[in-house]
Amino acid sequence: PKEQQLLDELKRVSGEAFDQAYIKMQTDAHRQAVALFSTYAKSGDDPAMKEFAKKTLPTLKMHEKHVKELAVAHQG
């Protein structure tokens, strides 16, 4: 339901409004993913999943950085 709501929001807008909505959604999603993986990498209870979180976290952080750079570039 939440994802469908986000998709519906994107369908209602176009042009600059679409770009802004999409960038905000990506920024929020990456922030949440980094927080989740960071927490699990430190205190997860499944060793295999904990290791996966540790290995995946740098990639997620890089993607988050790229989204932030996109947001800054789009403002200018």
Query: Which two three-digit tokens encode residue 64?
Result: 């988050």
Domain ranges in the chain are 2-75
Query: Which two three-digit tokens encode residue 4?
Result: 């469908």
Residue identified by tokens 């890089």 is 62
Q: How confident is the model at residue 75 (pLDDT cuts 50, 70, 90)?
A: confident
pLDDT score of 76 more than 80: no
Please report, in angstroms and rounded to a whole number, the separation of the first and last CA atoms in the chain: 34
Measured distance CA(30)–CA(64) in Å, rounded: 5
- pLDDT tens for residues 49-58? 999 999 999 9
- pLDDT tens for residues 7-65? 999 999 999 999 999 999 999 999 999 999 999 999 999 999 999 999 999 999 999 99
**Mean pLDDT (the chain, rounded):** 95
